[in-house]
Amino acid sequence: MFACLHLRGLPVEAALLRKPDLHSYPCAVLAEESRPDDPKSPLLAVNSVAFRHGIRAGESSVRARVHCPVLRFLPRDLAAEESLHAILLELAESLSPDFERLGPDTLIVDLAGTHPPEIWNPPILHLRLALADTPDLAHLAAMAEAAFSGKAMDLEDFDRLPPAILQRADVPGWRSFLPVFHLWGLRTLGDFRRLPRQEIAERMGPDALRVHDILQGRICRLLKLHRSIETYAQSVCFESPLESLEPLIFQANRIFQTLCARLESKHLAAGALKFKLSFESSESITRSVVLPEPQKSPAALLGPLQAAFETLRVASGIVALELELEPVRPLAAQREWLGRQLRQPARWADTLVRLEALLGPGRVGIAQPEDSYRPDTFRLRPALATGGERAVESQVFPASPLPLRRFRPPLEVAVASTDSASRPRPLALLSGPHAGPIRRLRGPFPISGDWWSAGSAWRRLEWDIELESRQMFRLVHFPPERWQLDGAYA
């Protein structure tokens, strides 16, 4: 079973919210781009009283005045229209989560698995609710002036409705076949429904044939379900500035209760949280906390947030708090299988938050080698990144079987060399713990990069040297005069 919520003349009903004394008068709203003094201005919408006087949306204002001299023109109120549409959405969601939005004033609700309402007391005047077995029949039933009965309309109930119902429902193609109804003397939808289907297809076309199938109950289409955009952010302003951590944690827990309920309804979890603190006499602070794994319980989110709050040093009272959760899909994994997961993910997140507060933003993470030939170049990626990132893979293997044990940091040395400025030849190490003459060497091996950028261009010359003590090192020269030992071959 399907239900249709329809509010005829929503722009007029929204304009009448501020003028309730005009509900008993015929009223209309002009199109937004029209001028009130223009006699050709079309009508955007009319209320039920004006509709009973024969005035229709789309007519010119001068023609409407001729039909009804007491017609009142109201200014359009967009804010009130959005408020009425929000009420319609709430009513539809109270009946069923599955509904289609045909327009700002019409919603089709799928009542499968739910009980239809037996009594209808709408919070909005002139709001209609109609029940039928198919979505299109429910839409047509809502266009009629019948009172709500709590039962679905049968096919025989539609036989008494006039063909003008098709125009009110804006059925596709009504402008082509509705005049034929009057020429053929069809006064009701029942007269049209009893015509042969093949004759209708040959003489009126596919649009009229589809209407005939709808009235026969042969078409039950799928709804284009409307899904409102959920926001996972909430803020609170305090009446008096907060000076301690306990009331701030209490307010954060209340916000998490609401946001986690939204995540649970959408089968999602939080991959990260972001908070913003506004102060009485200083600039606001914004921080982000990446969770070790997606969480959807307030208790699991409150621990990392409290650890982040404890690392802050504020100079004035807190006047506002804003929390936002980043929705992600929850992990589908087998827990504690072979012990490859974090035993206490919340404590790992707390540790990272405290380290970042101690060392500074952007100084805690996982070293990721960059795709460059420059030694020791890396960048930090978040230790709790939600998306996996592969390390740079290299198919180049060292030619020497001896491993190089790098010095951290490299050893700055003084070197005796030839006088060639572009490509010097080292002769002996003059300083450092490994000073002495060079017995043998291989090189130089020039390496350079980023030559197209003047600010980041680099160049180095490398040698593999052997001293008189039989120790082997990697010696590096940075033009014009800097030398260092990168490591020792073990």
DSSP letter for each residue of 356-421: HHHH-TT--SEEEE-SSSSTT-EEEE-TT-SS--PPPP-----SSSSPEEEEEEEEEE-EEE-S-S
Amino acid 316: pLDDT: 86
pLDDT at 323 over 90: yes
Residue whose C-alpha is closest to residue 348's, from 307, 381, 315: 307
Region 324-344: what's the mean pLDDT?
67
Sign for the CA dihedral angle at 52, 58, 64, 70 comes to positive
- The string of pLDDT tens digits covering residues 454-477 is 777 888 899 999 998 889 999 999
Which range among 132-136, 262-266, 296-300 shows the weakest confidence by mean pLDDT? 262-266
Q: d(Cα 45, Cα 56) in Å, to the nearest integer?
A: 8
- The string of pLDDT tens digits covering residues 225-239 is 887 777 889 889 988
Amino acid 388: pLDDT: 45
pLDDT at 10 over 80: yes
Amino acid 387: pLDDT: 46
Region 120-147: what's the mean pLDDT?
85
Region 145-149: what's the mean pLDDT?
77
- The string of pLDDT tens digits covering residues 387-436 is 445 544 555 555 667 788 888 888 999 998 887 766 788 999 988 888 88
Mean pLDDT of the chain: 83
SS3 at position 477: strand
To the question of domain 233-352 being in CATH 3.10.180.10, the answer is no
pTM over 0.75: no
pLDDT at 334 over 60: no
Q: d(Cα 116, Cα 376) in Å, to the nearest integer?
A: 69
Domain ranges of the chain: 19-76, 79-228, 233-352, 404-489
| Two tokens, residue 490 | 């073990």
Largest CA distance in the chain: 117
Spatial contact of 126 and 149, defined as CB atoms under 8 Å apart? no
Amino acid 275: pLDDT: 92
Residue whose C-alpha is closest to residue 140's, from 65, 87, 193: 193
pLDDT at 322 over 90: yes
Amino acid 391: pLDDT: 47
Q: d(Cα 466, Cα 306) in Å, to the nearest integer?
A: 57
62 CB contacts (<8 Å, ≥6 apart)? 39, 40
| DSSP labels, 249-306 | HHHHHHHHHHHHHHHHHTT-EEEEEEEEEEESSS--EEEEEEEEEEE-SHHHHHHHHH
Q: Residue holding tokens 């044939």?
A: 209
96 CB contacts (<8 Å, ≥6 apart)? 109, 110, 111, 112, 113, 114
CATH classification for the domain delimited by 19-76, as one of 3.40.50.9100, 3.40.50.1010, 3.30.559.30, 3.40.1170.60: 3.40.1170.60
- The string of pLDDT tens digits covering residues 54-109 is 888 888 888 888 888 888 888 888 888 888 888 888 888 888 888 899 888 899 99
Amino acid 171: pLDDT: 87
